[in-house]
Amino acid sequence: MITSSPSTTPGHALVTGGAGFIGSHLVDRLLAEGWQVTVIDDLDPFYARSVKERNCAGHFAYAGHRMLEGSILDDALLERAFNSDRPITVVVHLAAKAGVRPSIENAMAYHQVNVTGTLKLLERARMAKVPHFVLASSSSVYGVDPNVPWREAGALLAPISPYAATKLAAEQFAQVHARLHGMQVTALRFFTVHGPRQRPDLAIHKFFKSILNGSPITQYGDGSTRRDYTFVGDIVNGVVAAMARSKGERYEVYNLGNSETITLARLIASIEEVTGRKAIIDRQPEQPGDVPQTFADVSKAQRDLGYSPSTPLRAGLEAFHAWYMQEHAAKQVG
């Protein structure tokens, strides 16, 4: 359970992707604070269904929790989601086809879910007169802008992967809905989120698994690429703060990062320290679609949302390690 900053008054939240990595932590928080939560998640086979089932297993103990399994592209499912005795007070849209490299191979599928799916949700929210729509975006929309740290205003938005392009397109549709229909929309650009329940395809999870198993880890490039690693608890605090946003225009966009960059080489060294094991490194060329660095300026989120990331990389890696070992033990027992 992740706790921290004060929440808005509990209402009825529709959380898409609520069985995933970030989404399940957010749902943990909202249910504990007395929210009614409707979750839409298709349990996408991008990674094992059992992982998501474990993520959200504790949610079913709450009377205010409702789980709808299916796609945000399914009109009938969306009708059920928005048809409730208690009107939805906020949509938190986290669902998306994830991953930069897979998007290069299947751009059309990414467009359908991440763009068309977002537009469908925006339209449903508009028709239902939902007061606030919170959209999960990504630091990938900045592309290779060399002017770091990245600020929301005036930044060069130049995506270099289909995934990043779909996230920027979703932001633009959200902005149009805010302007045309008077909807309050808050877009949040997440920066390399890590922590317990992280997806198994992401670097930190893969590195821990390989190092603990004594297998080589694949390092793309010379280790100099840099990322703004942000702990999932800090991200959830930012999302909850955004749900209560009362400042700014009807449409606002915020960076949610840690405002510190870490090289890939340093990340690997830190994981070695946490596990007490040495990595076997398989060096490969840099991959298409990968950006050389990410670096968030979070001053706007600090000013408007009270966002204040406080979890150092080492503490986040230790939390992931503890979770990973528990997961491994549970699988062995099972």
- Cβ-contact 169, 177 below 8 angstroms: no
Residue 276 token pair = 């007490």
- Cβ-contact 77, 68 below 8 angstroms: yes
| 163 classed as catalytic | yes
Determine the Cα–Cα distance for residues 242 and 278; give it in Å rounded to an integer: 40
Alpha carbon 29 to its chain's center = 15
Count the alpha carbons within 13 Å of 186 in the hemisphere toward its beta carbon: 26
Residue 86 neighbours by CB distance under 10 Å: 10
Report CA torsion sign: 124, 42, 74, 252. Answer: positive
| Selected catalytic residue, list 142, 163, 251, 324 | 163
> What is the b/e burial string over 188-216, where b = at least 16 CB atoms within 10 angstroms of the residue's CB?
bbbbbbbbbbbbeebbbbbbbebbbeeee
What are the φ and ψ backbone dihedral angles of 190, each rounded to 5 degrees?
-80, 145
- Cβ-contact 188, 174 below 8 angstroms: no
Please give the span between the terminal C-alpha atoms of the chain, in angstroms, as a whole number.
Answer: 23
Q: Is 17 left (phi over 0), alpha (psi -120 to 50) or beta?
A: left
Q: Are strands 262-263 and 226-227 parallel, antiparallel or unpaired?
A: antiparallel
Inter-CA distances, 296 with 211, 255, 256, Å = 29, 6, 7
Count the alpha carbons within 13 Å of 209 in the hemisphere toward its beta carbon: 12
Q: For the chain, give me the number of helices (H) and strands (E)?
A: 12, 13
Strand-pairing partners, residue 226, are: 263, 293
Determine the Cα–Cα distance for residues 77 and 85; give it in Å rounded to an integer: 16
In the chain, the amino acid numbered 35 is W
Q: What are the residue numbers of the active site? A: 163
